[in-house]
A and B are shown apart, each in its own frame.
Chain A
Amino acid sequence: MATSAQATPDNPLVEGLERLPVHPTTLVIFGGTGDLAKRKLLPALYNLAHEGALPERFNLIACSRSENSHEDYARVAEEAIRQFSRRPPDDDVLKAFLERVRYVPGTFDDPSVYTMLSETIDAFDEEAGQPLNRAFYLSTAPEFFPVIVEQLGAAGLDHHTDAEVRCIIEKPFGTTLAEAKDLNQRVLGVFEERQVFRIDHYLGKETVQNMMAFRFANGLFEPVWNRNYIDNVQITAAEDIGIGTRAGYYDHAGALRDLVQNHMLQLLCHVAMEPPVDFSADQVRDEKVKVLHAIRAPTAGDVEQMAVRAQYAAGTVGGDEVPGYLAEDGVPDDSNTETYAALRLEIQNWRWAGVPFYLRTGKRLARKVTEIAVTLRPVPHLAFKQEGSVGVKPNQLILTLQPNEGVSLSLGAKIPGTRMRIRPVNMEFLYGTAFLSQSPEAYERLIMDAMRGDATLFTRNDEVEAQWRICDPIVQHWEGTPGPLPTYEAGSHGPEEAASLLLGENTWRAI
């Protein structure tokens, strides 16, 4: 079975096509009635169908505990698509899409479910007159990941003659290093690594991918992209909302597991990695893993110096009074779960030695923003008198991922007038002003890549473990340290304690 990447030189008709052919595929979603499937996966699949991007033969099987007929599930899927699709559905396309949907009910540890699944998949192969690729999407609670994988193996669904079988696994991939290792071992006991696609949906975001274009397609930045010119890097993922109805999940996870261990470390890797030889999956992931390995895992004694956690207290957000974390529905009164986490990491290699990387994330902060701020070292000597100047600040390069994706560079400029007075100004580039295309949803890109067999935007086994190697000691230390936690007022910029992480003259950038 060939992927389209292999097909390119041999099929002259793919030259110039924006969408390369993807082998006909049957996609199975475990957890097909779950929230993620309804809000993200089904709408993403519909949008791919609408654009003609799905494989030319595509079938969908949903598997969940609820007792549904095929027709019942088609109605569930239709409702979800109509509610959450980023474009109003075309009735004809939606009808044709739903005609290819089947449902297999049952519990994930029941071997008979996999027999039924196998029969349904085989029927699609039979109908097509050819073996179709198979993609199993594990969109369930994480405790079912190893169960499903092992049942797939036991049922012989981990391989298929003359076609590819792929396994797509949602986050979280373990909640500790030991769990991640165990899960890797069990998954790789059934599938080969090339068959496994671990989702981190941040990697599917256009702006994250643009970071590589920004760094490696522009000669302007590379000469200064090192310890000689860069003073510090701050990565912020701030949310203005609270935990909403997710107390059950969030109180077990916390900010570190929810965002830092996966998304924020991935952003750090994109900032700090060396240029890959090419943009093939393993070349890119090799470079990211090198960055993670260059970050020394903290000891228990280090944690207090390099990590801060806190919980939001009651406050005002957007003019509305909001409760503190402990008063949120479903949160235990004595919860020690952090809603804010900040870290100072050091990458111990020639490029970055001595440059602090500050990471912070939190809920109920002043506003929603995800950005990377790269602060350059100040000029060694300023010839102008500072009198009357608003202030000369070191140049800062800001890569904003949301809400206004773009790049901004702060510069010192002369204030108009007879005197040489300086104030900082911004040179801004906004993606939305320069590109016509709407970015596809991250899940649309990731589902297509997985069906195509391109793992570049998925996390490799060693990458996941390397991420956990950094975060696990912090998790262990925090879980072993009794509360109460420091607090910060909802709607603020975070806890005062976060300032303790900053070195020298560094300050947190305003959120």
Chain B
Amino acid sequence: MEGDLTASDAVWSERDTTPGAIEAALRELLRARHTENANHVPARVLNLVVVVDARWSGEIANRLARVGRYHPSRTIVCAVEAGRTTLDGRASIAADETKPGELALARELVVVLCGERHLAHLDSIVDPLVVTDLATVVWAPHGHHDAVDSLLPLAQVVLVDSVDEPDVEEALERAGSLAEQAYVVDLAWLRSTPWRERIAATFDPVKLRPDLHMISRLTIRHHPDSGAAALLLVGWLAAQLHWRPEKLLPRREAVAGKAHARRQDVELSLVPAPEQSVRGLATVELETASGRWLKLDRGPGGLHASYKSARGAAREWTVLGASRGESGILGEGIRQALLRDPTYRPALDKARVLAP
């Protein structure tokens, strides 16, 4: 899957076609591929339905091309062209290189060029094209809420990236609304995973666990577009530690406010970090009423940790780990579609309360 999604190396294509014709062509392609090489077996993991603007589909194709081993088995791209009234279809099957005695996975790509008029009933086009009994994941990186809503009865999972939406509050509301109907995998949430792991690890030693309930200040610096990721991290701490958060308010270039913990209030501050070139978080800084202080910074080779004990002893170290990059995040999102994280919804609910 390279270049422009609307112009992939189609083995089969037809103008003014129907979903039934595309589905029949796919079956024939699979049969032909298997006849040509019996070692080619179709991957059967999940259906990924991607709704994109046709003119921006190249960027999405490039992202999908780099997800590596987390590639879905059947990808159905609905590329939306302004003013189009008919459907054009293309289908292709790509297989890994075969080694003697080993099987190679074959993955199917279907591209359907459609118009805006099709979006409200996109389910009737996509339904015949998904592999029955596999999980179906919907991803609409260019918006198209009407198309996603139409596909919800077919889908078990919706992939969103809350940092894609210009308005953070709207992004979280949309994620919350989708989460009522399907399992939501939010790439903004996945960007915070290494940070959540490290905060959890810092407070994991038995003698430090009481300090979790003494957190008194939390400051997060984030890529200017990644306010949603920062809010979700605060929401996670609030949900897991039973804080009662208040709506954050603008304060100079940041947003700030507080959450009420059982023993004390927690001062919260989310600050954009314009110097950060990649999406996600730049720094997380925590302070406890007992005098402990932890700061995690994005750095080469992993997160750079700085820690001061209650007695003032300072330590620094690197928590090893490679950056996953945007393609890695998307691949992780596809993988997570088959898992269930019970902590996202509670974190999202708290983040919606906090959203300025």
Chain A residues with CB under 8 Å of chain B are 2, 4, 7, 10-19, 21-23, 49-52, 54-58, 90, 92-97, 99, 127-130, 367-368, 403-404, 430, 432-438
Contacts and interface: CB of A to CB of B under 8 A. Distances in A.
Contacts of B204: 2, 4, 7, 11, 13-14, 21, 23
Interface of B: 41-46, 69-73, 101-103, 105, 194, 196-206, 209, 212, 237, 240-241, 300-302, 305, 309, 313, 315, 317-323, 334-335, 338-339, 341-344
Given A16-B343, A52-B302, A52-B321, A367 B41 contact: no
B320 A54 contact: yes
Contact of B341 (A16, A21, A436, A438): A16
B240 A436 contact: no
B321 A430 contact: no
Consensus secondary structure, chain A interface = loop
Contacts of B344: 16
A128 B198 CA distance: 16
B321 A19 contact: no
Given A52-B197, A56-B319, A96 B342 contact: no
B103 A51 contact: no
Given A13-B199, A15-B342, A93-B301, A433 B44 contact: yes
A16 B237 CA distance: 13
Contacts of A93: 301-302, 320-322
A15 B320 contact: no
Contacts of A367: 101
B176 to A, nearest CB: 18
Nearest to A51: B321
Contacts of A404: 102-103
Contact of A16 (B42, B300, B318, B342): B342
A51 B319 CA distance: 11
Nearest to A16: B343
23 contacts: A11-B204, A13-B237, A13-B241, A17-B196, A17-B197, A19-B197, A52-B321, A55-B201, A56-B201, A56-B319, A90-B322, A93-B320, A96-B301, A96-B320, A97-B301, A403-B101, A403-B102, A430-B103, A433-B44, A433-B45, A436-B46, A436-B334, A436-B335
Nearest to B318: A96
Contacts of A23: 204-205
Shortest beta-carbon contacts, A-B, top 9: A52-B321, A96-B301, A16-B343, A13-B200, A21-B201, A92-B301, A92-B300, A49-B320, A21-B204
A58 B200 contact: no
Contacts of A17: 196-197, 200
Given A95-B301, A432-B105, A10 B320 contact: no
Contact of B198 (A10, A56, A95, A97): A56
A277 to B, nearest CB: 25
Contact of B321 (A49, A368, A437): A49
A129 B309 contact: yes
Contacts of A50: 320-322
A2 B197 contact: no
Nearest to B322: A90
Contacts of B323: 90
A90 B321 CA distance: 9
B212 A11 contact: yes
Residue from the set A11, A50, A57 with the largest chain B CB neighbour count within 10 Å? A11
Nearest to B200: A13
A353 to B, nearest CB: 37
Residue from the set A17, A18, A52 with the largest chain B CB neighbour count within 10 Å? A52
A128 B315 contact: yes
A93 B304 CA distance: 12
Nearest to B304: A96
Given A11-B212, A92-B301, 4 more contacts: A13-B204, A56-B202, A90-B301, A433-B105
Contacts of B321: 49-52, 93
B294 to A, nearest CB: 11
B240 A13 contact: yes
Contact of A21 (B194, B197, B237, B318): B197
B105 A13 contact: no
B200 A11 contact: yes
A15 B343 contact: yes
Contacts of B200: 11, 13-14, 17, 21
A128 B103 CA distance: 48
Contact of A433 (B43, B197, B240, B322): B43
A430 B43 CA distance: 9
A153 to B, nearest CB: 27
A438 B142 CA distance: 30
Contacts of B105: 432-433
Nearest to B72: A436
B315 to A, nearest CB: 5
Nearest to B100: A318
Contacts of B203: 11, 13
Contacts of A97: 301, 320
B103 A56 contact: no
Contacts of B45: 433-436
A89 to B, nearest CB: 9
Contact of B42 (A12, A56, A58, A433): A433
Contacts of A4: 204
Contacts of B197: 17, 19, 21, 52
A13 B196 contact: yes
A4 to B, nearest CB: 7
Contact of B69 (A22, A58, A438): A438
B263 to A, nearest CB: 15
B69 A92 contact: no
A336 B309 CA distance: 65
Contacts of B46: 436
A427 B203 CA distance: 49
Contact of A12 (B69, B71, B212, B339): B212
Contacts of B41: 430, 433
A49 B317 CA distance: 14
A96 B300 contact: yes
Contact of A437 (B42, B199, B302, B335): B335
A476 to B, nearest CB: 37
A368 B322 contact: no
A14 B205 CA distance: 12
A300 B57 CA distance: 73
Given A50-B321, A52-B320, A432 B44 contact: no
B315 A436 contact: no
A2 B205 contact: yes
A52 to B, nearest CB: 3
Contacts of B318: 96, 99
Given A12-B240, A52-B194, A52-B302, A92 B206 contact: no
Contacts of B313: 129
Contacts of A92: 300-302, 322
B299 to A, nearest CB: 8
Contact of A52 (B71, B205, B319): B319
A51 B71 CA distance: 19
A244 B344 CA distance: 52
Given A21-B197, A404-B102, A430-B103, A12 B44 contact: no
A434 B71 CA distance: 11
A90 B300 CA distance: 10
A18 B200 CA distance: 12
Residue from the set B42, B103, B305, B339 with the largest chain A CB neighbour count within 10 Å? B103
Residue from the set B201, B203, B206, B313 with the largest chain A CB neighbour count within 10 Å? B201
Contacts of A19: 197
